[in-house]
Structure 1
């Protein structure tokens, strides 16, 4: 089969499930993965005949897309903050909003490079995207990362090794900790924050595939992880240390108020590119003292 015929078949098979541009995006991602052809190369290779083995890979991928499997799980990796990360059903697929959180931290600290060795803790690391990206871009920092899932930590370790950074990974349930054994300059977390009542807003390819343990919290206590991490951070941040969160867009005010009640003096809510409340930075000292 020629590439041009494959593309037509691919679009026709998925047209009832996805928009045309999204189908083409899937096709070009798979073309690079299976055929080794970037988008511009595909345009110039329409009459190239693919092998039976390559065709089989496309058919398998197409069938998984029909089943609403995320394209990132199908190809086995994704890009985040300029780095590549292995992903599977044991970890959440990193989002652009989380890149914004990572960028905020890096911009806050990159001017301090060389002053002293930062100590960073990422709580609920999943694929390791936050911890690994910070370790890569703040190379003098000592980075640790916590997760409850052994399977997730195995993926995160692979991602740290692949991106040539050192991260100290720890398996533990953060809700069961009474204290952190070290002090940190930065504590960051993208914990579960989607309420059960918000499930109807979640696309099937996310709801049916990504780990619910990393996504959902009870409607009755949606800030459970934020409360616990803020309590631990209050005890374990250094004098000028900062706490960063990715947050539920509907609970920005509530999350800010809770953090302030814990004694944090400077709590800033920042919107993401879609104009949703998405990130918080908090300090135990007033902003003008930072």
Structure 2
């Protein structure tokens, strides 16, 4: 073989290898389509969610709706309220589905997250529960009340106690992150203890009463309509749960499709048929 032919062969081989490498890079780049009509890599979405009801709703979407929409959903369950946003910021998940607008606002202000929220999907009414009192009136003088320790839910819990007539927060603005020290009137001289939300149902017997978030109540086998002694109104609630993603992904067509599916007639019907006790209410 002549030197010219050898150089030509080596050049051709290198070119083919380069094309193969480039092809591999392109086929695995976000936002690019595969061959033969295959969906792009972005069609696979990893979504963080609380087990109940968020992961259950997502599982319905995955089983019944996602395939026709060209989306492959992986559900990652979380039992706390902090990690889902941290993991979203880190890029470990593509979106999360577990939080309310007031909680999200506080998280963004405290951590500088650049997140975008969709529209409200469902509402889980906050409830006051007790193993010692059968009504709000029966809560003992000086009783200890458990509250969720994250600032947004502490404030929401105090608002619930105010609605129940147990305390007054005076003229504090509705969106203020009120704390126990902001209580202006406390006729029963109640005491307040803040705990991690998921721990409260397990500790219910240690308190005169406890404010429990809907998802944690459901996970503990509590039925809000039957077991609570006072329940937050669901109608026109500002606490609808949202799908949240990084703002840099606002243009992701598959996240847009998932947001649409979560507000479909099928999902609304699923919520209404699955949670007949009123523990989960469609927000659309």
Q: TM-score, normalised by structure 1?
A: 0.26
**Which structure is larger by alpha-carbon Rg, 1 or 2?**
2
Q: Please, what TM-score do these two structures have when normalized by structure 2?
A: 0.26
